[in-house]
């Protein structure tokens, strides 16, 4: 690199000799760590689209990030919530330090390391979960939610941002696309929570406090799982129309 000597690096993935290097972007994290992002020109490695046989529905959940139509839950550990007290303690220490002093810079780095650890834990969990879903399913159906509006309008800011659901969907989308699979987005106004996944009857109203879904047909199930099944069924319908 210009004006720099040879430096030791840790490569996250192998680089083929056939790829052509276009640019390098060096960035510095608040914790003091440096990262170099390499942009290469290479052949399209996306697999051809395949027929979809195994479908999965995903419903957003405030606790645990999401629920699957199989009845399982993602079980996201809520890393920010669990580290919130420690982070607040470190930030109080920073506020007592004299700005510009050596102790201030040391404490500022400790706070940055706390945030960096939370971010890395979240990304690690999301990468592993999205890779597993992309491997096991041909098509994943999700709701096209307005996460920014949910975070600001319903006082769910910390919960929505801690989940990182939008980043998880971005990871899932490109991993499915690489394998020739599909991410199907269902309209956000589709009444997934109010419709019975067994008989198809729609309820007139359903409050957020009602965590169990009861229907006249005898269906009794968790409302999030019921919504995930409805999202999967709607996704199958959309896929059939587009095929």
Query: 91 vs 43, which has greater pLDDT?
Result: 91
Note whether 125 and 162 are within 8 A (CB): no
Kindly state the average pLDDT of the residues 60-64. Answer: 85
- 58 pLDDT more than 90: yes
Residue 243: the pLDDT is 67
Task: Please tell me the least confidently modeled range out of 22-26, 152-156, 191-195, 201-205.
Answer: 152-156
Strand-strand pairing, 139-143 and 182-186: parallel
Distance CA 176, CA 138 (A): 8
Note whether 152 and 196 are within 8 A (CB): no
Distance CA 80, CA 158 (A): 9
Which candidate, 60, 73, 57, 74, places its Cα nearest to that of 184?
57
Residue 154: the pLDDT is 60
Distance CA 10, CA 218 (A): 57
Q: Where are the domains of the chain?
A: 55-242
Kindly state the average pLDDT of the residues 128-141. Answer: 94
Distance CA 142, CA 38 (A): 32
Query: 242 vs 23, which has greater pLDDT?
Result: 23
Q: How confident is the model at residue 93 (pLDDT cuts 50, 70, 90)?
A: very high
Tokens of 176: 């499915």
Q: How confident is the model at residue 231 (pLDDT cuts 50, 70, 90)?
A: very high
- 75 pLDDT more than 70: yes
pTM above 0.75, yes or no: yes
Positions marked active-site: 59, 143, 224
């Amino acid at each position: 690199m210009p004006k720099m000597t040879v430096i030791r690096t840790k490569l996250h993935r192998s680089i083929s000799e056939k790829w052509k290097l276009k640019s390098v972007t060096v960035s510095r994290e608040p914790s003091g760590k440096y990262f170099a992002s390499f942009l290469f020109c290479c052949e399209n490695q996306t697999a051809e689209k395949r027929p979809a046989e195994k479908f999965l529905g995903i419903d957003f959940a405030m606790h645990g990030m999401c629920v699957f139509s199989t009845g399982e839950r993602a079980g996201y550990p809520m890393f920010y919530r669990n580290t919130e007290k420690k982070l607040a303690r470190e930030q109080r220490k920073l506020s007592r330090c004299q700005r510009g002093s050596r102790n201030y810079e040391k404490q500022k780095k400790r706070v940055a390391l706390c945030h960096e650890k939370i971010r890395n834990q979240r990304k690690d969990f999301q990468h592993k979960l999205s890779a597993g879903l992309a491997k096991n399913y041909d098509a994943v159906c999700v709701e096209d939610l307005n996460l920014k509006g949910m975070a600001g309008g319903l006082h769910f800011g910390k919960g929505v941002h801690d989940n990182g659901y939008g980043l998880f969907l971005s990871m899932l989308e490109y991993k499915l696309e690489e394998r020739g699979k599909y991410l199907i987005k269902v309209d956000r106004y589709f009444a997934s929570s109010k419709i019975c996944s067994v008989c198809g009857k729609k309820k007139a109203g359903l409050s957020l406090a009602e965590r169990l879904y009861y229907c006249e047909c005898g269906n009794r199930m968790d409302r999030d799982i019921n919504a995930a099944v409805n999202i999967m069924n709607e996704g199958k319908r959309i896929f059939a129309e587009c095929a």
